[in-house]
Amino acid sequence: MDIITVENLQKAFKGRAVLKDITFSVKKGEVFGFLGPNGAGKTTTMRCMLGLLRPDAGEALVFGENMAVSDRLRGRIGVLLEKDGLSDRLTACENLDYYARLYGVSGRDERVREILEFVGLTERKDSLVGTFSTGMRRKLGIGRAILHNPEALFLDEPSAGLDPEAQRMVRDLIADLSREEEMTVVVNSHNLDEVQRVCSTVAILHDGRIRAFDTVERLRSGGGAEVRIVLSDRSSAERALAVLSAATGVAAVSREGEEVSARLDGADVPTLVRAMAEAGCAIEEVRKDHRSLEEIYLSVVRQAEGSA
Ligand SMILES: Nc1ncnc2c1ncn2[C@@H]1O[C@H](COP(=O)(O)OP(=O)(O)OP(=O)(O)O)[C@@H](O)[C@H]1O
């Protein structure tokens, strides 16, 4: 079931087209990563989805409705934008309590305690938010966004400016929300490693258009996985090279000493390993690699720049 549908979205600021034609959808329970260079239009798209900005054409629907006109949807979504809505002059606990009242959360005290625990801030619950590090503040911001148990969560650059440990905590929080709460999560991000680790689906935005949109798994295995085989000796490697060259579904083969590499185009690894073993190759190690999301992102963006 699609929770979010964005269709042919267009938006210009002062006559400059920022979103030229944006179409994608997000299914229930997915963690969707929205990627793109600075200024590509990620935040603008998110603001259109949230009903904070009116598109010039096209539509962005959440739970089948336009958020700009359907206020009752607010309780079903959680949002953490660049401005996190937390007050420096209140403690972590008081901030959450304020929002719990605003959302009419039942069992307020218990829920605030639960959220503080979930984001790992129980020990700092009585500290003023103004004294928090960027990472602690971000965690509390995520806690604030999920306080009312939303079905869908929108995060704009959740790990920007965080050190690696805090980035990891944010990543783990997102993964937990998806796994344990089956929350649908939309993440705008520049952090390709984070997206590769937590997102199930991604869209790559460049110059106001979607240049790639697929599951992370399919994107990474598209364009051919590569298999590397280490043989025990050189004659085995030469034999393996001959077997792989003759096999169907192998796009390219090369050898370097005792190591043979093959780019796959339909062939599966167990069949190739069996064929090499039958030809008497002494195999030490077999490793299959997929392209990283970073490689895919860079090639998509470069291709888009080349065609612009
Ligand atoms: N309210 C506005 N008025 C004028 N221009 C705007 C407005 N909001 C965004 N823009 C412009 O639209 C473009 C896209 O901005 P947006 O913030 O959506 O990009 P982004 O992909 O989120 O970038 P970043 O990764 O840097 O956050 C930018 O050139 C920005 O200056």
Is residue 54 lining ligand 1, measured as CB closer than 6 Å? no
Q: How far is CA 157 from CA 33, 154, 171, 285, in A?
A: 10, 10, 12, 40
> Whose alpha carbon is nearest atom 10 of ligand 1?
13
pLDDT of residue 82: 87
Instruction: Pick the residue whose CA is nearest to atom 13 on ligand 1.
Output: 39
- 5/182 Cα distance (integer angstroms): 19
For residue 28, report the distance from its CA to the centre of ligand 1, in Å.
28
pLDDT at 264: 85
**Atom of ligand 1 at shortest distance to CA of 157?**
27
Helices (H), 119-191: 134-146, 164-181
Q: Where in the chain do CATH 3.40.50.300 domains reside?
A: 2-220
Question: Ligand 1 centre from 13 Cα, in Å?
Answer: 9
Give the distance (Å) from ligand 1 centre to CA of residue 265. Answer: 40
Domain 223-290 belongs in CATH node 3.30.70.100 = yes
CB atoms within 10 A of CB 141: 23
Long-range contacts of 168-176 (CB under 8 A, 24+ apart): 169/120, 169/135, 169/139, 170/135, 170/138, 170/139, 170/142, 170/194, 171/197, 171/198, 173/118, 173/119, 173/139, 173/142, 174/31, 174/198, 175/31, 176/118
What residue ranges of the chain are covered by domains with CATH 3.30.70.100? 223-290
21 Cα to the center of ligand 1, angstroms: 16
Q: Quick check: 212 and 219 in contact, CB under 8 A?
A: yes
Q: Whose CA is nearest to atom 30 of ligand 1?
A: 39
Predicted local confidence at residue 223, as pLDDT: 61
Written out in words, the top-level CATH class of the domain with range 2-220 is alpha beta
Pocket test for ligand 1, best of 42, 44, 211 (most atoms within 8 A of CB): 44
In this prediction, residue 220 carries a pLDDT of 82
| Count of all residues that appear for the chain in the document | 308
pLDDT at 308: 61
Residues of the chain with pLDDT under 50: none
| Strands (E) located in 226-308 | 226-231, 250-256, 259-264, 283-289
Q: What is the pLDDT of residue 38?
A: 87
pTM: 0.82
Which of 33, 24, 87, 93 shows the shortest CA–CA distance to 60? 24
For ligand 1, say whether the CB of 38 is within 6 Å of any of its atoms.
yes
Check pocket membership of 191 for ligand 1, CB cut-off 6 A. no
What residues contact 134, with CB distance under 8 A and at least 6 apart? 161, 162, 166
CA-CA distances (angstroms) from residue 240 to 12, 199, 224, 252, 285?
Answer: 57, 37, 19, 13, 13
